[in-house]
Amino acid sequence: MQRHKIIDKAYLVPFILVTALFYLWAIPNNLNDILIPQFMKSFQLNRLQAGLVQSAFYMGYFLLALPAAYVMDRYNYKTGLIIGLLLFATGAFLFYPAAILGTYGLFLGALFVIASGLAFLETGSNSFIAVLGDPASSAQRLNFSQAFNPLGSMTAVLIGNIFIFSGIHYTDSQVTAMKAAGTYQGYLHHEILRVIPPYMVIGTIILIWVVLIARTKFPTGIETATHNELNGSKKESHGHFSKLHQYPHFIKGVVAQFFYIGAQVGTWSFMIQYVKDYLQRTDKEAGVFLFAALVAFGIGRFVSAALMSKVSPNKLMGLYAILNTLLMTLAVVQPGLLGASALVLSSFFMSLMFPTIFALGVKGLGPNTKIGGSIIIMGIIGGAVWTPVMGLISDNTGSMALAMIVPLIAYLYIIYYAYIGYKPSGPLFETDEPVIASH
């Protein structure tokens, strides 16, 4: 059996720099799960209002994913990645005035700017890694790069638990006394200020990465060369948005991603609150459950990659969706340690869903792959929609457990997509499958 090099030495430096982005963009994504309970306390928000953290964040993805694809389609990956990093850093630094002024709306604006940058990074990095070398080893390259994403997620929870959560909690009588003494608002503002150091450090690291990428020579024409080689053509080809409606499996893939991201983001966003409600744990103690969930997610990535050599991706995803439907049912009907454990375990079975839905959705799109991929990334607006819906359910019913019916419904649709809706149809291109299947 012929062995293929994962990466050529000539591409090693850009490969390392872009692989690091998978780690870096996971940090703000999962710090949101820390910000939600922190803002609920600091700004005295209800759960619907706190859910707007994810709405602002994923709206940035939604609005910038397509422009990001156009920038990289018309110019190059390096330009798109630098734009994304500059937006990321700008949003992180905006946390300083937001905290000093104590303005929730400004925090939401900062999160929108960060996510706008991440839309560029995610749109470009996956495709860039896929085409950076031998098409036969693109799956190995992407699996290696993506393995750093859950490490970034775990880092985010550790940062939040150590530097953002103070661990200070007052009883109702103590709060009443502080309000009478006029010191309670000062305490709340001090809690808000705790977000400044982590985000200033993050913003600084991102600016360093801008300099490193700007000074690194990226291979020119690699995407066009690879695409043309696969198609036996010397003519550059660009995708067309207007042709995407011809692919029903792609449309259903966008819907599946919309539901899946809603399930993932909603589960992680309210896991700390679920544990606090039913197990009477502090923020820091509840954060351990979220950290365990992200560890399970990371392990699931590796286990799923191994299982995919024996089980087709769609069938494995279908099985995982069935299991997560059962776990969410437990979380709804058995709130407490059993329900919290079910939420943690569900993260293991989430692990393959984003890349598998992405790969199945863009399969056979040929030159429309990049634009199609950006539309599927836009499907993560589900995180902006379903998280506040879960907060609204919890506010109106007084039950965080009942809100978990939202991810339960999402997994039911994913079961349909995994076994029926994924089947490719339309004017398919077979030549770009080596690149697509590697996501």
Average pLDDT over residues 156-183: 92
Residue 433 has pLDDT above 60, yes or no: no
- Measured distance CA(188)–CA(180) in Å, rounded: 15
The pLDDT assigned to 3 comes to: 57
The residue that leads in pLDDT, 378 or 252, is 252
Residue 303 has pLDDT above 70, yes or no: yes
Q: Which of 135, 123, 150 is nearest to 6 (CA)?
A: 135
Q: Which of 42, 287, 43, 264 is nearest to 159 (CA)?
A: 287
- What is residue 219's three-state secondary structure? coil
The pLDDT assigned to 139 comes to: 60
Residue 74 has pLDDT above 90, yes or no: no
Cα–Cα distances (Å) from 197 to 159, 194, 284, 380, in that order, read 10, 7, 18, 29
- Measured distance CA(274)–CA(428) in Å, rounded: 45
Residue 366 has pLDDT above 90, yes or no: no
- Measured distance CA(429)–CA(372) in Å, rounded: 13
CA-only gyration radius of the chain, Å? 22
Residue range 178-209, pLDDT digits in tens? 999 999 999 999 999 999 999 999 999 999 99
For 384, other C-beta atoms within 10 Å of its C-beta total 24
Give burial (CB, 10 Å; 0-12/13-18/19+) of 174. Answer: exposed
The pLDDT assigned to 4 comes to: 60
Residues 6+ apart with CB under 8 A from 148: 19, 20, 22, 23, 26
- Measured distance CA(170)–CA(182) in Å, rounded: 15
Residue range 104-121, pLDDT digits in tens? 999 999 999 999 999 899
- The verdict on pTM exceeding 0.85 is no
Give burial (CB, 10 Å; 0-12/13-18/19+) of 222. Answer: middle
The pLDDT assigned to 222 comes to: 59
Residue range 220-238, pLDDT digits in tens? 765 544 444 333 344 445 5
Instruction: Kindly report the average pLDDT of the chain as a whole number.
Output: 88
Q: Which of 178, 200, 56 is nearest to 118 (CA)?
A: 56
The pLDDT assigned to 26 comes to: 95
Domains of the chain: 9-436 (1.20.1250.20)
Task: Calculate what percentage of the chain has a pLDDT beyond 90.
Answer: 64
240: confidence class by pLDDT, cuts 50, 70, 90: low
The residue that leads in pLDDT, 232 or 161, is 161
Average pLDDT over residues 132-152: 77
- What is residue 265's three-state secondary structure? helix
Instruction: Measure the CA dihedral 169/172/174/180, to 10°.
Output: 130
257 neighbors 344 (Cβ within 8 angstroms): no
Cα angle 46, 47, 53 (rounded to 5 degrees) comes to 105
